[in-house]
């Protein structure tokens, strides 16, 4: 077995000795899209069917309070690539290909001697026509030696990739795009009415991405060079189009209804806008419709879990599990009806709390931590595992010392999440107990929640007299130092 012990019951993760030489661990970073942190079995959800993610959690470490750098796809992915906060890299909404000439954690890992690759959705360039292969040079600039890129599901309506090539070759492209056009048009079905995908299960986008991962491992694994592979799934992002057999796994009657209790205190402008422009008015949704809607999301979560299982099986078939880190997270969460909302673009827990688990080479002891952390800490840990140069001006702190010993419930004193389009930009700071959101330009507070006494975020304390000192302290001593380099003068 290619590992040693580092303390009672823990796995040494810095490498192993084989044939008289020290080798470095491989890294597989699995990144899903729009996946809540609480909809897996290992997270305590008794309804969720996620045996493969549960296995990784059983053999590794789970961080229960990992926050997205931003509850927006392209924005948070720019943070993951650069290790920077949103206000530092400046990608507030749409991808900026120019930032690839700045720092990249992938390029740092590549410089440390790793073979690097990505399969699936990157969201690092703007979609709308053309083919993903047109951006291979950009992927190389980011540091990927072998990029096999698709788009996300909705983007495949008008942007081609190796996935749409595959569908066209099999006579399935029109079926795929007709379904998406039905979903995306102004008369889209309500989320509890959306039909299943019309594609064969093996032709679903996420199954195709799993096959890309299998092929990448077949083509790139070498005894002479460690590898770093990102596997970026398109789901469980909407549309919740999982094949019929996945939907049959769930009984809607078993679904716990979304958080719908009446809230007190002011409603943030973010939430007001989302409710005003929502394509589905969830305040008119019945309990039964809510449960059916949630079952459709859970079915896609299980689809993603099966895809993760295929990656694990590919690693096992090549004897790689003993010297490979498997890391799992998502770009942001999914509101799933909580507070009358779908998708993301707000700072409620459903949108910003994301899965985070690390399975070390050879497996380790099951551990869970309440330590406060963010995507930037995942990035710092990947770099640390690879022995690569640290990123400059990154707030991320490596979790590897904890992972090599015993998990603690403290890591960062506070973490940021940022959202908006200048000049309308909002910043959230989360501490162990409180969550505060502000208008980034004026520094005016818009939300304050006591996450210990009010985990469902039903009582906005921002205007209550008893909390004014707490609010001021969070702004002055936590938030302002973290955004001291935010320049709003051009706004």
What is the spatial distance between Cα 475 and Cα 449, in angstroms, rounded to a whole number?
Answer: 14
Asked whether residue 415 carries a pLDDT value surpassing 50, the answer given is yes
pLDDT band at 431 (very low <50, low <70, confident <90, very high): very high
What is the spatial distance between Cα 241 and Cα 246, in angstroms, rounded to a whole number?
Answer: 10
pLDDT tens figures, 366-391: 999 999 999 999 999 999 999 999 99
The domain that contains 314 carries what CATH number?
3.40.720.10
pLDDT for the residue 9:
36
pLDDT tens figures, 242-292: 999 999 999 999 999 999 988 999 999 889 989 888 877 787 899 999 999
Look-up: residue for tokens 């077949």? 218
What is the spatial distance between Cα 96 and Cα 140, in angstroms, rounded to a whole number?
Answer: 16
Q: Are strands 26-33 and 227-236 parallel, antiparallel or unpaired?
A: parallel
What is the spatial distance between Cα 393 and Cα 85, in angstroms, rounded to a whole number?
Answer: 9
What single DSSP character describes residue 392? T
Q: Which residue segment(s) compose the domain that 273 sits in?
A: 23-412
Taking CA atoms, 47 is separated from 41, 189, 251, 480, in Å, by 7, 25, 9, 41
Our CA dihedral for 335, 339, 345, 350, rounded to 10 degrees, sits at: -40
Query: What distance lies between CA 129 and its chain's CA centroid?
Result: 25
- Chain mean pLDDT for the chain: 93
440: in domain:
no
459: in domain:
no
Asked whether residue 103 carries a pLDDT value surpassing 60, the answer given is yes
CB 54 within 8 A of CB 42: yes
Taking CA atoms, 346 is separated from 80, 110, 256, 353, in Å, by 19, 35, 22, 11
Tokens standing for residue 356: 């985070």
What single DSSP character describes residue 375? H
What is the spatial distance between Cα 106 and Cα 61, in angstroms, rounded to a whole number?
Answer: 23
Residues with Cβ within 8 Å of 472's Cβ and at least 6 positions away in sequence, in order, are: none
387: in domain:
yes
Task: Give mean pLDDT, residues 72-80.
Answer: 96
Asked whether residue 58 carries a pLDDT value surpassing 60, the answer given is yes
435: in domain:
no
pLDDT band at 17 (very low <50, low <70, confident <90, very high): very low
Least confident of 2-11, 228-237, 411-420, 453-462: 2-11
Rg (alpha carbons) of the chain, rounded to whole number: 22
Buried b (16+ CB within 10 A) or exposed e, 43-74: bebeebbbbbbbbbbbbbbbbbbbbbbbbbbb
Helices 73-82, 375-386: inter-axial angle, 10-degree rounding: 30
What is the spatial distance between Cα 100 and Cα 107, in angstroms, rounded to a whole number?
Answer: 10
Q: Are strands 367-374 and 414-421 parallel, antiparallel or unpaired?
A: unpaired
What is the spatial distance between Cα 397 and Cα 392, in angstroms, rounded to a whole number?
Answer: 12
Q: Helix or strand or coil: residue 469?
A: helix
225: in domain:
yes
3-state DSSP helix/strand/coil % of the chain, to nearest 5: 40, 20, 40
Residues with Cβ within 8 Å of 291's Cβ and at least 6 positions away in sequence, in order, are: 252, 253, 255, 257
Q: What is the pTM of this model?
A: 0.94
* pLDDT: which is higher, 115 or 408: 115
426: in domain:
no
Residues with Cβ within 8 Å of 115's Cβ and at least 6 positions away in sequence, in order, are: 145, 146, 220, 222, 225, 226, 227, 228
How many domains is the chain partitioned into structurally?
A: 1
What is the spatial distance between Cα 371 and Cα 386, in angstroms, rounded to a whole number?
Answer: 23
Cα diameter, the chain: 68
pLDDT for the residue 61:
97
454: in domain:
no
What is the spatial distance between Cα 182 and Cα 188, in angstroms, rounded to a whole number?
Answer: 6
Taking CA atoms, 252 is separated from 137, 243, 248, 249, in Å, by 46, 16, 10, 10
pLDDT for the residue 106:
98
What single DSSP character describes residue 126? -
pLDDT for the residue 16:
47
Tokens standing for residue 195: 């039909």
253: in domain:
yes
* pLDDT: which is higher, 293 or 10: 293
> What count of Cα atoms within 13 Å lies in the side-chain half-sphere of residue 142?
28
pLDDT for the residue 187:
79
CB 331 within 8 A of CB 68: yes
């Amino acid at each position: 077995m290619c590992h040693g012990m580092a303390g009672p019951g823990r796995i040494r993760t810095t490498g192993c000795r084989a044939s008289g030489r020290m080798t470095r661990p491989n890294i597989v970073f699995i990144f899903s899209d729009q996946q809540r942190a609480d909809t897996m079995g290992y997270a305590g959800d008794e309804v969720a069917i996620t045996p493969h993610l549960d296995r990784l959690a059983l053999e590794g470490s789970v961080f229960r309070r990992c926050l997205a750098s931003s509850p927006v796809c392209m924005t948070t992915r720019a943070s993951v690539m650069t290790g920077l906060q949103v206000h530092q890299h400046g990608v507030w909404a749409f991808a900026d290909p120019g930032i690839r000439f700045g720092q990249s954690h992938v390029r740092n890992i590549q410089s440390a001697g790793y073979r690097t690759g990505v399969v699936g959705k990157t969201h690092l360039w703007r979609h709308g026509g053309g083919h993903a292969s047109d951006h291979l040079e950009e992927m190389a600039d980011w540091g990927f030696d072998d990029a096999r890129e698709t788009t996300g599901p909705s983007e495949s309506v008008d942007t081609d990739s190796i996935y749409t090539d595959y569908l066209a070759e099999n006579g399935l492209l029109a079926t795929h795009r007709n379904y998406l056009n039905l979903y995306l048009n102004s008369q889209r079905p309500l989320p509890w009415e959306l039909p299943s995908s019309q594609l064969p299960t093996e032709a679903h986008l996420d199954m195709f991405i799993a096959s890309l991962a299998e092929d990448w491992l077949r083509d790139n694994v070498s005894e002479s060079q460690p590898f770093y592979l990102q596997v970026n799934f398109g789901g469980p992002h909407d549309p919740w189009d999982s094949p019929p057999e996945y939907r049959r796994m769930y009984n809607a009657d078993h679904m716990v209804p979304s958080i719908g209790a009446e809230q007190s205190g002011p409603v943030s402008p973010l939430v007001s806008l989302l409710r005003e422009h929502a394509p589905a008015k969830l305040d008119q949704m019945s309990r039964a419709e809510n449960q059916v809607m949630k079952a459709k999301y859970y079915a896609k979560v299980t689809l993603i879990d099966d895809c993760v299982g295929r990656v694990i099986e590919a690693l096992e078939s090549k004897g790689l599990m003993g010297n490979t880190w498997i890391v799992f997270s998502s770009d942001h969460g999914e509101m799933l009806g909580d507070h009358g909302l779908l998708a993301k673009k707000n700072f409620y827990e459903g949108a910003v709390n994301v899965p985070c688990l690390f399975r070390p080479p050879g497996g380790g002891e099951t551990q869970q931590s309440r330590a406060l952390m963010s995507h930037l800490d995942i990035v710092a840990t990947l770099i640390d595992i690879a022995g690569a140069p640290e990123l400059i001006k990154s707030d991320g702190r490596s979790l590897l010392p904890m992972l090599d010993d015993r998990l603690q419930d403290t890591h960062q004193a506070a973490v940021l999440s940022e959202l908006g389009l200048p000049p309308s930009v909002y910043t959230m700071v989360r501490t162990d107990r409180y969550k505060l959101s502000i208008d980034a330009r004026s520094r005016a507070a818009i939300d304050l929640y006591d996450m210990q006494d009010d985990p469902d975020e039903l009582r906005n304390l921002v205007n209550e007299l008893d909390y004014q000192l707490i609010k001021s302290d969070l702004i002055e001593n936590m938030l302002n130092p973290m955004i001291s380099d935010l320049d709003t003068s051009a706004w």
